[in-house]
């Protein structure tokens, strides 16, 4: 028997009670599958009970069928690796920065593109910032004026 108690899901049976934390997405998805597929609640009602859509229920069910409970965990979306700023390109950006510290980001990007490395100005900026290679501005104490006496 499953009860919903003040934003907490509870499975009760002859052997005891199991509480499911509403913030535990893996447990919520798994409980939704159990109720929808095994306890007769059905996909639509089980999904609604746990705050999901019917389509999401079937996506979760499909994922679970393919890979088990590990597939119910949230995973980072998007690219898994950096396609543009490869170690070679990062090394080239750093090399160009040390060879000519006064070169602008646009100049470094242009030199790399002329050398056959496809890189944007923004990627060069990110690398320079990431490695702390920004140009330093000279320190001027407060009150010092720029006029020559």
CA distance 30 to 147: 73
- pTM of this prediction? 0.49
Question: Could you list the pLDDT tens digit for every one of the 149 residues in the chain?
Answer: 555 554 677 877 788 888 888 888 899 999 999 999 988 899 999 999 888 999 999 999 999 999 898 888 877 777 777 778 899 999 999 999 999 998 999 999 999 999 999 999 999 999 999 999 887 766 777 776 655 55
pLDDT of residue 2: 58
Phi/psi at 43 (5° precision): -60, -45
Q: Provide the residue count of the chain.
A: 149
């Amino acid at each position: 028997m499953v009860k919903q108690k003040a934003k907490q899901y509870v499975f009760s049976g002859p052997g005891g009670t199991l509480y499911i934390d509403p913030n535990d997405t893996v447990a919520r998805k798994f409980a939704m599958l159990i109720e929808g597929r095994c306890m007769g609640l059905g996909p639509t009602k089980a999904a609604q009970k746990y705050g999901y859509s019917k389509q999401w229920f079937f996506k979760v069910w499909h994922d679970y069928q393919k890979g088990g409970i590990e597939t119910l965990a949230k995973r980072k979306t998007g690219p898994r690796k950096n396609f543009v700023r490869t170690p070679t390109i990062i090394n080239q950006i750093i090399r160009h920065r040390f060879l000519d510290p006064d070169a602008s980001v646009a100049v470094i990007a242009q030199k790399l593109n002329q050398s056959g490395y496809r890189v944007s100005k923004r990627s060069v900026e990110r690398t320079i910032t990431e490695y702390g290679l920004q140009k330093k501005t000279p320190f001027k104490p407060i009150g010092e004026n720029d006029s020559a006496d």
